[in-house]
Structure 1
Amino acid sequence: MYYSGLSLDRAGSRRTDRAWLQKKLTDTDTQVIPLWRDNCLVRHDQPVMLTAGELPVATEDPVLLGLDGAAAVFAADLSELEQAEALEAAGADSVVDVRGLVATRPVAECGLLAYARGILHWQRNQQFCGACGGRTGSRDGGHLRVCRQCGKLLFPRIEPAVIVLVELPGEPRRCLLGQHRQSAPNRFSTLAGFVEIGESLEDAVRREVAEEAGVTVDVVEYQGSQSWPFPAGLMVGFRSQAVSETIAVDGQELQEARWFTAADLRARIADPEIGVPYRADSIGKTLIEDWLREND
């Protein structure tokens, strides 16, 4: 699964050691991933990796991502530069979203780039304190920001969301997919939504399915989770069972929802005009493909 299972040692215990961080930024084996406004800087269709000595002047220290063996890996944000300036500074020829590299780059590399994207996005959007409005400064290798006025500690925030494959008991086995308002015509996918304050993950599943599709579910079973730093998500996957087959879409999030048999889904996937009902890098792919394997 993309953006998960990163083998990098995040070196949490070393983040507060400024001397160690400064030394790593002078080591010849240190790697720095430069990004520009949430995009990867690419040369000849490959993400650029700089050494610490090649790093252009930045407004703040690079963010420590972790250790690859003994070598440190940092991420540097070049967003304050104009695009042409960032390309020249990094020796790149284009900028590409991380998700645009999924088809051509290894899973582990995409996970590392997504990690860099997520932490730099938070850094760039947490320049001011939400309590007093004061300026914040980066600390602890880029994993903490501190208000220079009131001293408030600001940590990276994760926005949890649930994504669910709903199954209808009985034969033939069927699963529920919805067509979202922003989706291409005739494209259906699993249901998903953000978790609200005061709500468990399981409660969020029941609420989202009821709100969007008008379907009541009872059994809710955890399947897995996936980092989704676009910009700060954590996707938590579930399988659930519907109480009845009645559907009543809300007309806001969903335009339509249907029950599909495994044969229906395979026919759609094989149809070049419709294609797969999921992104290649989404946990929705895992949920649907697991269900199809169970129904071979």
Structure 2
Amino acid sequence: MTFEDLAYTQTPQNRMPGRRGDVAWVASQQARPDMRVIPIWRDRCLVGEGRPVEIAGSAAHAVLRASPESVLLGLEGEKPVFAADLSELSEGDALRACGAQASAEVRKLVPVLPSPQAATLAYARGLLHWNRHTRFCGSCGAATRAIQAGHVRVCTAESCGRQMFPRIEPAVIVLVQSCEPEPRCLLARHHGAGPDGFSLLAGFVEIGEGLEAAVRREVAEEAGVAVGDVAYRGSQGWPFPAGLMVGFTAHALSEAITVDGEELMEARWFHRAEIVERITSGPGPGPEDSIGGRLLRSWAGA
């Protein structure tokens, strides 16, 4: 089973890193009649007739003027695509400005969208979120301003001038297989999950450790299971707001489980037939847009 077509993995735009620092060139792209704008309101897409709104022509220029923060996503073919943050407007005003009917979370729209469009919306959301939450310098507290068409921010204090780049927070997610001859995999129920809300183990990578080390640490910390071999399977952007999910499979060295009681409520081993049943007639493999579901389906052959 391939891991190359996961949600949020590939955007169709040429991000134009060699040109987006040219202020005059970016302005010329904003002025083009074939320019498109994706409006975002407080991290939510604007929707009309059940589909995300994308605005073109003179209406697109009007939306850019109404937005205090816009970013260049790139070129699709020769056509520029921008994202505009309308978060300073009320929801009603944002909807009226774009001719939209409602706002919606990107992840709720994924089942009805082509993969490139879902990736583009997540890209727009993540980049605008970062700009909106990086308005002040973490070193000196002065205001920042966007450069590189919204892909870099710089401190405005002459004594500082620090440059800030969009942060990425890597996290690992792992399917742990048992060491017994009959294959089983480890699922856990986190705090806040329902009675049957079992999922794969996952966690953020910490400073000074590699991805495989993060897998071993997370599984040992949360479930008390020692892990040996770790194998990379795939990755996906996870801009909610700034993650990178990296998927692995691993083999346990023992089957003893001791949950930490903080992150996890319980954990247990599941036979392959149980996983197939969960996928086909139970709660499912997990969120449709997550690499976790793909890891489970691949292991179960479902």
Instruction: Report the TM-score when normalising by structure 2.
Output: 0.94
Alignment of 1:16-35 (within 5 A): 16-35=21-40
Aligned partner (choices 82, 90, 109) of residue 82 of structure 1 = 90
- The structure 2 residue matched to 1:216, chosen from 215, 226, 249, is 226
* Residue range with higher mean Cα deviation, 48-57 or 204-213: 48-57
| Identical residues among aligned pairs (%) | 52
Residue equivalent to 2:266 = 256
Q: Deviations over 1:226-255 (max 9, x none)?
A: 000001000011111100000001111111
Alignment of 1:51 with 2:59, yes or no, is no
Bigger CA drift: 179-188 or 221-230? 179-188
5+ long unaligned stretches in structure 2: 1-5
1:42 aligns with 2:47: yes
Q: CA–CA distance in 2 between the matches of 1:173 and 1:255? A: 23
Aligned-pair CA distance for 1:52: 5.5
Alpha-carbon contact 2:173-2:245 (below 8 Å) kept: yes
Measured after TM superposition, the shift of residue 269 of structure 1 is 2.5
Deviates more, 1:183-192 or 1:46-55: 46-55
Corresponding position of 2:291? 283
Aligned residue runs from structure 1 range 168-247, under 5 A: 168-247=178-257
User: Residue 83 of structure 2: SS of its match in structure 1?
Assistant: strand
Q: In the alignment, which residue of structure 1 is the partner of 2:138?
A: 130
- In structure 2, C-alpha distance between the alignment counterparts of 1:6 and 1:201, rounded to whole Å: 24
Query: Cα deviation per residue 1:187-246 (whole Å; 9 max; x = unaligned)?
Result: 211100001111111111001000111100011111111000001000011111100000
In the aligned structure 2, how far is the partner of 1:69 from the partner of 1:96? Answer: 28
Instruction: Tell me which residue corresponds to 2:3.
Output: none
Quote how far apart the aligned CAs of 1:270 are. 3.1
Matched ranges for 1:4-15 at <5 A: 4-15=9-20
| Maintained 8 Å contact 1:41/1:87 | yes
TM-score under structure 1 length normalisation? 0.96
Instruction: Figure out how many residues of one structure are paired with residues of the other and give that number.
Output: 292
Question: CA separation in 1, counterparts of 2:162 and 2:149?
Answer: 17
- Structure 1 stretches of at least 4 aligned residues deviating more than 2 Å after TM superposition: 55-61, 268-271
Which of 123, 128, 133 is the aligned partner of 1:120?
Answer: 128
Q: CA deviation at 1:61?
A: 4.8
Residue of structure 2 in register with 1:108 after alignment: 116
Contact preservation (8 Å) 1:143, 1:155: yes
In 2, the alpha carbon distance for the partners of 1:288 and 1:171 equals 19
Q: Deviations over 1:258-283 (max 9, x none)?
A: 11111011122233xx4113100000
| Whole-angstrom distance in 1 between the partners of 2:235 and 2:195 | 28
Q: Deviations over 1:22-57 (max 9, x none)?
A: 111111111110000000011111111112631323
Name the SS for the 1:267 alignment partner: helix
1:80, 1:11 → 2: CA distance?
28
1:127 CA drift (Å): 0.4
Counterpart of 1:165 in structure 2 is 175
Checking the alignment, whether the CA contact within 8 Å between 2:68 and 2:86 is kept in structure 1 is: no
List gaps (5 residues or longer) in structure 1. Answer: none
Confirm or deny: 8 A CA contact 1:2 1:281 kept in the other structure: yes
